Every structure is written in structure tokens, then in C-alpha cells.
Structure 1
Amino acid sequence: MDKVRIGIIGLGNMGTSHAVHITEGKVPRMELAAICDIAEARRTYAEEHFPGVKVFDNATDMYKSGLLDAVIIAVPHYSHPPLAIEAFSYGLHVMTEKPAGVYTKQVLEMNEAAKKSGKVFGIMYNQRTNPVYQKIRSMIQRGDLGEIKRITWIITNWYRKQSYHDSSAWRSTWKDEGGGTLINQNPHQLDLWQWMFGMPEKIMSFCSFGRFYNIEVEDDVTAYMQYKNGTTGVYITSTGETPGTNRLEIACDMGQLIIEDNKIKFKRNIMSEREYNRTDTDSIFGSLEYWNCDIPVDSSGGEQHVGILKNFTAAILDGEKLLAPGYEGINGLTISNAIHYSAFTNKWADVTNFPHDEFYELLQEKIKNSTFKKEVKEQKTLDADSMSSTH
């Protein structure tokens, strides 16, 4: 096999973007062979904008067609695991959009199906291609920071208007989306959190549901995390602030890292704070010298979605290691579910031994008891023209 014949399930915003990137040749050795969408309007759109690509109205027929080696799943979140499990049963490689699913119970089932299939399984965590986060991760793994004391990430530049929530029937509901900003805007950052720092031991959270908008899910979140080694973390996110902030601070033995505007600044101590504390006994009030350092790093953001698709293709054809294995999707989702769990129950969420079944039941109660009436004012999907390389 010298190319990967790919099918896209769901020609919404992300599905359209992937289709454009592939047909423009941005992913060498990947060919768009089929598109599937349950909406007639999107199938008509696909036929008009992607001539020569077979269009299906259901995933099963596309899986059975013999046209594909792999699929990209780009539909609403609840459907990621069942569509992936079915694709694996037909011997197809799978790339799923983020998040891996809505609740961990279904993602565990997806991971098991992937394992049994032996096929390549990736997830669209495109922020892992960003050199800034790659640099931070490598610095942590090398021990450049010493022990991490506290992590603070304020990411509130996810501003969304009411019209965004009203733009689709599935958005911002427990039944159809499974949550709000945690499940929609924040999966990348929650993945990066665990990718760089590892999984916390437990989480206590405070969430506001429909604080800024006429929605039933969370739009403002503060979560406090504790690690087994004593490291603490605070994660703050919202869709109701503008201009908002995206600032990550890492307090560590060797000083403080500040990540903002896709740049890394390091207030680097000349020695470990712990060592300084042990050895400098001459004065009661001491001050440790530090240097203001700009860490050299490519601030372009990396190849993003295209980079993940290139890596996925190379994994299938060449056996290259995946940058974002699909199995790891459960990690960020566990943090997301734990934040919800703590807010639902007003108690600590045990991340290490997360209660998958209990959380599923709590989510079902939210759906069952919901009295929210969704109003869709105008269904909107990106056009291929707006996704071209000239824009």
C-alpha cells in the first residue's frame, strides 16, 4: 500500500476542513475516497465541492464499500466511540476528532475494540504539534524545572456568543453534546495538561451552568487539582469573557515558567529553591537570584491538524509512532468527567480510581431531568471556500 484511502464521517466544520486539506494535497499519501453525512444538504454539498469522491448517507455502507483503508470521525461527541468500534470491526484504521467521547465508560469500550483490531488508532489532538508545548514537555521530562510545585492555567479566550450556542441543535445540551466548554472548547488543553504534567490524583471543582448564556451546561469553570507528589494545579476556563486570557504558569524548584502568546518566558533561579532553602542559613529573609530568560522556540503553532494527519498516514504506511494515540484520549476526558463529577456531587473526584459507572448514571440523570428547551435559530456549517489555503 503506497497511500491511505480515507473516508470522512460528518461534513460539518471539522470534517469540511479535513476534506479541504486532503484534497488540496496538504497530506501527502492520503487520498479522500469517501464522505458520509446523514444530512442531505451536506451530501449535496459534498458532491458539488468534492467531485469524484463517493458520498454515503450512512457509515455502515461506507465501511462495507471496500473503498477505504481508514476513517476520520468528525461527528458530534457521543457518536465517536460507536462509530470507531464499528470501523474497527471492518478492519479500518481510525482517526477520531476530539474529545474521545462524552463519558469514560464508552471510551474504555472503544479502546478495547481498538486493541483487539490491531489497527492504527489516532485522535485529533493537534495542539501536540505546537512546538511550545513540545518544548515544555521536554523540559519537564529532562528535569530542567526540578520538582513542579504549582500549575495555573487560565484559558478564558474561548468567547462564544449566544448565537453560537443557537447555531446547532446538538450544541450546549446534556443530551446531544454532553457538556459545555469542558467537552467542546477545552479538550485540547486538558489533554496538554496530562501530556505535560501527568494525571492528577483528585479534583475539586466549581462550575456555573448557564451563567452567561441561555444554555443548560457549564460555561464557567474553576478546578483545583492535587497530585500524589504534592503538586497542585488550578484550571480556570470560561466562554463568557472577552478579550479573555490564555496564560499558563508553572512554579517549580528552578523558578517560574510563563507561557503566553505562544512564547515561553523562564524566570530561572540560579540554583534550586530547595537547595537554597537548605544551604543559605545566614539570614532570616533571603532572596534567590534569578534570570529572565526567553526560551527559544518556534512560535508558529506547528502543523496542527495537517501534522496529525501526516503522522497518522506515516503510522499506517511506515509504522511511525503516533504523536497522539487514540488510547490516550481517555486521559483528558477523565479530567473533564472528574470536573463535572465534582461539580455534580459537591465533593472530591477520585481521578486515579475514577467511578466510570457512577458518572455515567449522573449524566443520565442530567439528561432525564432536563427541562431545557433548545432553540435553533440558524444551522451554520463552514464552506470549503472559507477553508482554502488562500484564507
Structure 2
Amino acid sequence: MNEVRIGIIGLGFIGCMHAASLAKGDVPGAVLTAVCDSNPDKAQWVKENLGENVTLFTDVDEFLTSNIIDGVMIATPHPFHTELAIKAFKHGLNVLVEKPAGVHTKEVRLMNEAAAAAGKVFSMMFNQRLNPLYMKLRDIIASGELGEIKRTTWIITNWFRAQSYYDQAGWRATWAGEGGGVLINQDPHQLDLWQWVIGMMPKRVRAFCHFGKHHNIEVEDDVTAYVEYENGATGTFVTSTGEAPGTNRLEINGDLGKIVVEDEKITFWRLSVPTSEFSLSFKGKGFQQPECEKIDVPIEGEINEYNWSGIIQNWVEAIAKGTELIAPGEEGIKSLTLSNAMQLSTWTDNWVNLPIDEDLYYEHLQEQINKSKAKVNV
């Protein structure tokens, strides 16, 4: 396949941005041939920004059966991701889905099964995996330089939103409209990176979600979560849309030191000997600890948290050449597992073991949706 024909469903902010980028030729080997949006008023924008060679559809089924696309990018609100992706797979199309994969893991599991049955290329828009900061961090941990992971801590509270942000649309920050708050709207990238950089998921989660703590909304806008891993390590994840100034600090402690990612820098405090070894071998008195070297880790490449085109390029090359995916679609369930588990832990006031009880989560989610003031259901 010399050229991959791309179609986009959803011409909101992100969909229009992807469409304009593809139309300009920002992704070699890809050509934008079609877009789909239920709003017919998009016709003028399509004509002015995408050219006459891009066909606009207002009906999804006509779009999917048009025979002018090889791959579909889904850029609709996330409650519609799973249904659209499954339809696309059934029509033999490759799929790239915006984050998050969906609302809850039960529906995303169905999407994963459809992808496997179709045998098509399925990718997630986890563009933060191309951020040199997290790529370097992952490499350091995978190399063993940090030793065995002992603790992970991510404070990500620089999401401040005024009430007016939530008041812009009736579906926003509602259970029926979004299926969650800060965890599903702002944090999918961080939840994905949290497990991706260290290479493991927790075995259980205990969380405290506060619903409408800082705003007049239904869903969570402040979360503190504690997790435990199979190797005995622990972790915390703190997030909020009600704090200013906020913080974005990821700290990972291992047997050979500590790494901090903050202010677009990586700092590594590397120990001369592992703490476990030093603790047993040191025979002196006092509060001696292993010698420590502070290293400002050099980062290769431009730190660009919006490298959407890199993920699209990788997806296109996977379709055309079989290139390995950076963000396989099947992994979209992992970040959603974490957010679902945090909500479920709060609703049940208890620990949640992973893999999550999908039926129990769905049951609790439906209770929230039934009480929701929004008019649309996820």
C-alpha cells in the first residue's frame, strides 16, 4: 500500500485540527479523503480548509461504506468511541481512537474483541508516549538503572477550571454526558503514562474521589488514590481541577535512587549502592545513607506534548508497512481501568482488585447516570 486513505469522524476542535494537518500533508504516506460530522454547517469549513478532494459525510454508515477510506480516526466525544470503532472494524477498516478509549472497561473490551476479530490496525492517540521526557524515563527504568521500583507518586493538579468551563455545555461534567470528571477528561494521558513508564499495573486500588468539591458539577473534580503493586511497591495519584497554581510532578523511587520529572526536566538522584544492600551491610552509628549523585538527565529532541502527528504517522506506517505500534489500541483499557477502579473504590468505600469487576462498576455507573441531570446517556 503506497498511500493510506484516511477518514475522520467528528469535526470538533481536535477533529478539525487533525483534518487540517492531514490536508497540508503533515503525515507522509497518508491522504485525507473523507470526513464525517452530523452537522451540515461544517460543509463551508471543509471546502475552505480541506479542499474539494475531501468528501464530507453527515451519515456515519455512508461514510464507512464509501470505499474511499482505509483507516478511520475517531475524534468524537468519548462516549461514542466504542460504538463507532466497532462499526469501523466490522467494515474492515483500520482505526485510530482519541483518548480516552471509552467510558468504562466493559465496552472497551468489546472494542478490543472487534479489533482482534477484524485483524486490522488499532491504535490509541496516546501522543504523550512520544514526549521525550517520558520516553527517556521509560528507558531508564527499563534499563534497570533505578533498580526495583519501590514507590510512584504523581501529583497532577494543574488542571484548574473555572465554573464557566463546565457551564458551556449541558453534557459537560455529568455522569450521563461524560461518565466521569477529571479522571476521564483531563487525566487519561497521565494514567496511561503512569503504568507505561514503569511497565506494570497495580494489583489493587483504594481511592477517594470528591464529586463536585470545587464546582457545581456531578462528577469528580478532586481525587487522591493509593495503589499497591505485585512486587510490594506502592503508589499515589493526586489530581484536581480546583487548585491554582497547580503542580505536575512525577516521582519514582527505586532501590538505586529517585527520579523526578517536573518543569520539563528529569532529575536522577543515583545511589552508589542499592538501599537494600546498604541497609544490611552498614555497621556504623548514626543516620548514614548511601552516597548519592545528582544527575540532570539530558533529553534528546524537542519536548512537544502535542505530537499528534507522530502517532498518526506511526499508525499509517503500521497499516502500510507493518511497523510496530507505539500506542496499541488494546492498551487503551489500562488507563480506563485505573480511572474506573478509583471511582468504584469511592462508591463502594473499599479496595478494588485488578482486573476490575466490570459488571459491578457498570452497575454503579448506571446508578449515577440515572440520577444525572444531563439529557444524553453514555
1:346 corresponding residue in structure 2: 349
How big is the shift at 1:371?
A: 4.4
Query: Any idea what SS the aligned residue of 2:216 has?
Result: coil
2:41 corresponding residue in structure 1: 41
2:148–2:254 CA contact under 8 A, matched in 1: yes
2:170–2:374 CA contact under 8 A, matched in 1: no
Separation (CA, whole Å) in 2 of partners of 1:42 and 1:158: 30
- Asked if 1:287 is matched to 2:289, the reply is yes
For 2:247, which of 224, 245, 251 is the aligned residue? 245
- The structure-2 alpha-carbon separation of the partners of 1:76 and 1:142, relative to structure 1 and needing over 3 Å to count, comes to same
Moved over 6 A (4+): none
2:206–2:350 CA contact under 8 A, matched in 1: yes
Separation (CA, whole Å) in 2 of partners of 1:180 and 1:364: 15
Query: Any idea what SS the aligned residue of 1:183 has?
Result: helix
Cα deviations across residues 159-212 of structure 1 (Å, max 9, x unaligned)?
222222122333211111111110011000000011122100111111111111
How big is the shift at 1:369?
A: 1.9
2:331 corresponding residue in structure 1: 328
- Asked if 1:165 is matched to 2:163, the reply is no
Separation (CA, whole Å) in 2 of partners of 1:333 and 1:355: 13
Query: Any idea what SS the aligned residue of 2:171 has?
Result: coil
1:254–1:272 CA contact under 8 A, matched in 2: yes
- The structure-2 alpha-carbon separation of the partners of 1:28 and 1:260, relative to structure 1 and needing over 3 Å to count, comes to same
CA RMSD of aligned residues (A): 1.5
- Asked if 1:98 is matched to 2:99, the reply is yes
Separation (CA, whole Å) in 1 of partners of 2:43 and 2:168: 19
1:178 corresponding residue in structure 2: 179
Instruction: Please list, as runs of the form range in 1=range in 2, the aligned pairs for 1:295-374 lying within 5 A after superposition.
Output: 295-298=297-300, 300-302=302-304, 304-351=307-354, 353-371=355-373
1:76–1:170 CA contact under 8 A, matched in 2: no
- Single out whichever of 39-48 and 305-314 deviates more from structure 2: 39-48
Separation (CA, whole Å) in 2 of partners of 1:164 and 1:2: 44
Question: What amino acid sits opposite 1:143 in the alignment?
Answer: G
How big is the shift at 1:154?
A: 0.4
Question: What amino acid sits opposite 2:106 in the alignment?
Answer: K
Q: How many residues align?
A: 373
After TM superposition, the score normalised by the length of structure 2 is 0.95
2:125–2:308 CA contact under 8 A, matched in 1: yes
- Single out whichever of 34-43 and 254-263 deviates more from structure 2: 34-43
Structure 2 regions of 5+ residues with no counterpart?
none
Query: Any idea what SS the aligned residue of 1:168 has?
Result: coil
Question: What amino acid sits opposite 2:139 in the alignment?
Answer: S
Separation (CA, whole Å) in 2 of partners of 1:320 and 1:12: 29
1:24 corresponding residue in structure 2: 24
1:122 corresponding residue in structure 2: 123
2:175–2:374 CA contact under 8 A, matched in 1: no
Separation (CA, whole Å) in 1 of partners of 2:117 and 2:2: 25
For 1:277, which of 265, 276, 279 is the aligned residue? 279
Separation (CA, whole Å) in 1 of partners of 2:43 and 2:203: 45
Separation (CA, whole Å) in 1 of partners of 2:33 and 2:119: 22
Cα deviations across residues 67-102 of structure 1 (Å, max 9, x unaligned)?
100000011111101100000111100000011110
1:132–1:299 CA contact under 8 A, matched in 2: no
Query: Any idea what SS the aligned residue of 1:172 has?
Result: coil
1:216–1:372 CA contact under 8 A, matched in 2: no
Question: What amino acid sits opposite 1:18 in the alignment?
Answer: H
Separation (CA, whole Å) in 1 of partners of 2:185 and 2:301: 25
1:383 corresponding residue in structure 2: none
1:172–1:179 CA contact under 8 A, matched in 2: yes
- Asked if 1:200 is matched to 2:231, the reply is no
- Asked if 1:87 is matched to 2:93, the reply is no
After TM superposition, the score normalised by the length of structure 1 is 0.92
